[in-house]
Amino acid sequence: PLSPDKILRLVTAGRPTTCPLDPIPSSLLQTISGDLLPYLTSLINSSLTAGHVPSIFKRARVAPLLKKPTLDPTDVNNYRPTCLLPLIL
């Protein structure tokens, strides 16, 4: 299991960018993570102990990203997929 300190470090270490799948902005989650820490710790450790990741945590939004700014943006082959993952659901 992960300690509450480790979970707090993981939540607050990332850049506060928000994925469209996030129920709340990541900057807000980082701000209130201390208050949510017991719940986050329980949720994450329960998932790890059970060896089961809920399907809602397996969602991502795939977006195309131009490989290089100098490439032709009208050519589909010049894009690569990127996954936008929620910080936590």
Section 71-77 average pLDDT: 97
Instruction: Please indicate, yes or no, if residue 56 is contained in any of the structural domains.
Output: yes
Q: What is the pTM of this model?
A: 0.68
Instruction: Please indicate, yes or no, if residue 89 is contained in any of the structural domains.
Output: no
Per-residue model confidence as pLDDT tens digits over 10-55: 888 877 777 888 888 888 988 999 999 999 999 999 999 999 988 8
Instruction: Please indicate, yes or no, if residue 53 is contained in any of the structural domains.
Output: yes
Instruction: Please indicate, yes or no, if residue 49 is contained in any of the structural domains.
Output: yes
pLDDT over threshold 80, residue 88: no
Instruction: Please indicate, yes or no, if residue 13 is contained in any of the structural domains.
Output: yes
Q: Who contacts 19 (Cβ-Cβ below 8 Å, separation ≥6)?
A: 26, 61, 84, 85, 86, 87
What total number of domains does the chain contain? 1
